[in-house]
Copies of this chain bind each other. A is one copy, B any other.
């Protein structure tokens, strides 16, 4: 199906420390490969437990062109399925959130229970075996109220990620949160250009005036600021409050609690909290940001007063959907304790600005004169990490496949 020799050759053309050859950013065949070798192999962040509070709540998503469902079953456990009827393949649940007692295919009403078992199929012949036609499962895991899926038969080990990130994330009490705002944005750019953009703040000073107010622009690896005394004092204060700071990291994930710029409590236009009801009580919510990120497609910032999630969903070789969600404490009252527009302002503006940058980058890599340049080791360390990870993951897939 894939021309592995060509893909391997492109991967080999990449110079260490440099951006990728153009075809890896704009070729339809590479996009198809990425969907299979990356998005169908690795853990993808999809959202939060509180989006699926009760048995029967489901969330429909599309990975590339492949529809999946996450559903809370009768026992309260989250399960995932390929969202395709075992009869003629029709999509069973709509994309987005819903609630249903059973999963009923809209075409011929084949009906599955919440564990994926086929419990009704009308007019079928005597030798038809319903037990052989359950929905096909996908893997679902959760970490302190956040949800991840994997479409691989054998996913990368998840335990270390959960074990090491839980202590950093659990204090933010996501099981007592709610979605306050969600937004989607389509960027006419390859998903890797979207993620490279999302992995550095080298462009923030000039391009993100709102974000630059509170974001430590000189941050290097793990978004840790260089100003050692400042960071040390922050870390000591967090320790006193019982909050671990990390950093912790694995092959495809990383997490750290880091301080915002001096005097600022959250990422807002004035550094002051956006929500009156904090998610975390320690130091009045002045706990910096607990940022965690997964390759290939997410990063999130948990502040004292709210949480921001960014996930990227490829739609085509040069088109990516960005899904953003903002969470607040479940008891915070919209219009009283927080203003949704203000809550989302900094990151909405940042996302709009990044869309322009990504689309411009995409146009430029089509240039016959495009030559991958060197990343700044200091300012683009996490881009380097992402691109290195991508090349390794792609190469490993090819080795395993042939």
Contacts and interface: CB of A to CB of B under 8 A. Distances in A.
Interface of A: 19, 22, 40, 62-63, 65-68, 81-92, 106-109, 122-125, 128, 133, 135-136, 138, 151, 196, 202-203, 206-207, 357, 360-361, 363-379
Nearest to A65: B366
Contacts of A371: 86, 89, 136
A107 B361 contact: yes
A80 to B, nearest CB: 10
A366 B45 CA distance: 21
Contacts of A19: 87-89
A369 B90 contact: no
Contacts of A65: 363, 366
B357 A106 contact: yes
B364 A89 contact: yes
A289 B66 CA distance: 41
A87 to B, nearest CB: 4
B369 A66 contact: yes
B373 A91 contact: no
Interface of A is mostly: loop
Contacts of A357: 90, 106-107
14 contacts: A19-B88, A19-B89, A63-B368, A66-B369, A82-B370, A86-B373, A88-B373, A90-B360, A91-B363, A106-B357, A108-B206, A122-B202, A122-B379, A136-B371
B123 A376 contact: yes
Contact of A123 (B107, B361, B378): B378
A32 to B, nearest CB: 11
A110 to B, nearest CB: 9
B367 A67 contact: yes
A17 to B, nearest CB: 9
A107 B353 CA distance: 10
Contact of A66 (B125, B138, B368): B368
Given A202-B108, A374-B128, A376-B124, A89 B40 contact: no
Given A19-B88, A89-B22, A378-B123, A368 B108 contact: no
A203 B369 contact: no
Contacts of A370: 82, 84, 89
Contacts of A89: 19, 22, 361, 364-365, 367, 370-373
Contacts of A202: 108, 122-123
B377 A90 contact: no
Select the residue from A124, A133, A202, A369 with max chain B CB neighbours within 10 A.
A369
A39 to B, nearest CB: 10
Contact of A364 (B90, B138, B379): B90
A199 B371 CA distance: 38
Given A84-B367, A90-B364, A91-B361, 7 more contacts: A40-B368, A68-B369, A82-B367, A89-B370, A107-B203, A109-B206, A125-B376
A83 B366 CA distance: 10
B368 A107 contact: no
A376 B128 CA distance: 9
Contacts of A106: 207, 357, 360
